[in-house]
Each structure stands twice: as C-alpha cells, then as structure tokens.
C-alpha cells in the first residue's frame, strides 16, 4: 500500500513539474515578445525574470543564495501566474504585439 501512495505522489509531482516548466516557458516567451516588439524592454525583462520562478533548478540556486525558495505549486506561484497573465494580456497588450510579429514576417 505504501508503494501505491508513493507512486501517486510521484505522478502528481511529475504533473506539477510539467505544468511549472510549461508555464515558465510560456512566460519567458511572453517576456521575449515584450522585449523586442512594442517598446516594452523593461516589462519584458521583468516578465523574463519572473518566469525563472517556475524553473526548479533556479529554485535550487535561489535557496543556496537567499536561503528560501518558492513552494512547488503553492499559492504564491498561482497568484504570481494570475498576475503575469493579467499583466501580459491586459496591460502589456500581448495580442497587439503578436499582430506586430505577424506583420514583420
């Protein structure tokens, strides 16, 4: 019975890892879009730095340097993710910048 519980915990951990890495890559992409299209260099750098929270190797480095880490799928990451989506779509006008990219190609 212990093995089933451990297997379930490992599967949940794998799903959380995949979701975290996927969201981190998406936010990094949004940051890069903001850096190069639409004159939002600093906002793009800000989003790119925030995306690092979702990569677990960066969390390990953060723990060594600062002494604390952001929990895997804690409320902090969920609230941060909602803030990033709101900022990128609403304030950052992501869809307008995607249209600019389409015009460039």
Residue-number span of the structural domain to which 68 is assigned: 2-104
Query: What's the confidence (pLDDT) of residue 25?
Result: 93
As for how many domains the chain has, the answer is 1
With a cut of 70, say whether residue 7 has pLDDT above it. Answer: no
Q: Are 36 and 100 within 8 A, CB to CB? A: no
> Is residue 11 very low, low, confident or very high in pLDDT (cuts 50, 70, 90)?
low
Token duo for residue 62: 């953060």
Residue 97: count of CB within 10 angstroms of its CB: 20
Strands (DSSP E) contained in 1-105 are none
Tokens 């949004």 found at: 30
- Full-model pTM: 0.72
Residue 46, burial from CB neighbour count under 10 angstroms (0-12, 13-18, 19+) = middle
> Is residue 73 very low, low, confident or very high in pLDDT (cuts 50, 70, 90)?
low
């Amino acid at each position: 019975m212990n093995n089933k519980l451990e297997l379930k915990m490992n599967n949940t951990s794998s799903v959380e890892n995949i979701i975290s890495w996927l969201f981190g890559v998406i936010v990094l992409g949004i940051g890069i879009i903001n850096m190069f299209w639409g004159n939002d260099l600093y906002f793009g750098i800000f989003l790119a730095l925030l995306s690092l929270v979702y990569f677990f190797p960066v969390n390990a480095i953060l723990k060594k340097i600062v002494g604390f880490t952001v929990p895997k799928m804690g409320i902090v990451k969920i609230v941060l993710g909602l803030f990033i989506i709101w900022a990128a779509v609403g304030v950052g006008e992501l869809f307008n910048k995607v249209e600019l990219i389409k015009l460039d190609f």
